[in-house]
Amino acid sequence: MKIRRFSTTDVDFDSNLKALLAFETAQDDSIDIVVADILKDVKKRGDAAVLEYTNRFDKTSASSLAELEISQAELTAALNGLPVDQREALKTAADRVRTYHEKQLMSSWSYTEADGTLLGQQVTSLDRVGLYVPGGKAAYPSSVLMNAIPAKVAGVKELIMVVPTPNGERNQLVLAAAAISGVDRVFCLGGAQAVGALAYGTETVPQVDKVVGPGNAYVAAAKRRVFGVVGIDMVAGPSEILVICDGKTNPDWVAMDLFSQAEHDELAQAILLSPDADFLDKVNASILKLVEGMPRKDIIRTSLTDRGALIQVRDLEEAAEICNYIAPEHLELSMDEPLAFSKTIKHAGAIFMGRNTCEALGDYCAGPNHVLPTSRTARFSSPLGVYDFQKRSSLIMVSAEGAQTLGKVAATLAYGEGLQAHARSAEYRLKS
């Protein structure tokens, strides 16, 4: 296993390094072609197509989609059947996630002008949302909490969750997490066919208003394609971690932090930036030593070999510049004074500060959401939050007096645009 090793003094960042790193993972054309066909078929044939793809990709043998729905009784039984430590850990995580997200609630507001005209914004929640919970290579009960709790806090009426169950195995922690979070319906579906079912609706799966949640490159491509028919939260594809380290953290800790995201997916991306060449050597040695003991070592090896990199930077300021280009899903600042340094970071899904703050704490229980933008979309997207499940309507109530002043302004501008009906509509309200 060989991880790419660069120094910015040898490989110029702008002209070479950007090209050397594989950033465009989730936009792979071959995946997009497969996904386009699946979505077209789901739209045309509904349940029958979803069932066929599910049986093929998840190696199940269901004869109807109804068979793939999990009842509320089964969700509750899963929760009650968990070992106490697991049930308590789920509840602690759920409480912390809820407390954090309650701070994000947007509320309605309005103000009244001197002439009595009222202007404002009315906030409402979405009616029905689809929550994608990944489940191909690993089960993600934590993603159930991260998807469902903000939706509940926002006041969404109906939560429809999909999760693939390879070989028909229903993960009890995932089911328990759905019970704790108050999910209304759960279907054992995954990949592009699950996203299509939620977006277009089928005989069995209800159509939703928005599809949220992370997934592999097939899920990310499907979400991109259904956007417009339904809303989507962001592109949350294969996981990424960028560690910036001053060279003073235990190299084993940093190696394991890189593994923590690499073990998600062969397409995950784990990169370390440090000005200290000896430290990079030590982390490299730690990686080679520690990988042998990892149950998911094959995935880690592929991810680190294909997409990982150890990069020697001139200084930490250059590391910040490179980070802002990469716009990683997760950024660890493993250094002295990380809070001050964080001010130089513009683009990252979540920033983990200090040597004790491993990214894994954020994945499970710190409180902020772990559904985060990937593939450089942190340049313009934010973590999943309550705001993704709320929307705003503008409020305008013009007084009789306001209609006089605003009417003249509007009519003048409307005539300027050549729009007679607009102008006259405003003028009808003018007192002669």
Ligand X SMILES: N[C@H](CO)Cc1c[nH]c[nH+]1
Q: Which is nearer to ligand X, 236 or 414 (CB)?
A: 236
In the residue annotation, 292 being an active-site residue is answered as: no
> Positive or negative, the Cα torsion across 201, 147, 343, 13?
negative
Cα–Cα distance, 21 to 176 (Å, whole number): 39
Using the rule CB under 5 A, is 388 a contact of Zn ion? no
Q: Count the site residues for ligand X by CB under 6 A.
A: 8
**Which range, of 138-146, 174-182, 222-230, 419-427, touches ligand X by CB under 6 A?**
138-146
- In the region spanning residues 233 to 272, those forming contacts with ligand X, defined by CB under 6 A, are 239, 261
Q: Judge whether 254 and 227 are in contact, CB under 8 Å.
A: no
Catalytic, out of 101, 266, 330, 332: 330
- 352-391 mask for ligand NAD (x: CB under 6 A)? ------------------xxx-x-----------------
Return the residues of window 236-275 that contact ligand NAD according to CB under 6 A: 236, 238-239, 264-265, 268
Distance of closest approach, residue 157 Cβ to ligand X, in angstroms: 27
| Stretch of residues binding ligand X (CB under 6 A), selected from 77-85, 139-147, 297-305, 422-430 | 139-147
Q: Does 330 qualify as catalytic in the annotation?
A: yes
Q: Which of 246, 266, 363, 388 binds Zn ion (CB under 5 A)?
A: 363
The response to whether 363 counts as a known ligand-binding position is yes
The answer to whether 263 contacts Zn ion (rule: CB under 5 A) is no
Structure tokens that stand for 313 in this block:
């930077």
Selected binder of ligand NAD within 7, 28, 34, 52 (CB under 6 A):
34
Considering only residues 86 through 125, tell me which ones interact with ligand NAD, judged by CB under 6 A. Answer: none
**Identity of residue 89:** A
Q: Which of 329, 332, 359, 370 is catalytic?
A: 329
Q: Which stretch binds Zn ion (CB under 5 A): 92-100, 328-336, 343-351, 360-368?
A: 360-368
Nearer to ligand X, 178 or 280 (CB): 178
Catalytic positions = 329-330
Q: Which residues bind ligand X (CB under 6 A)?
A: 140, 142-143, 239, 261, 329, 363, 370
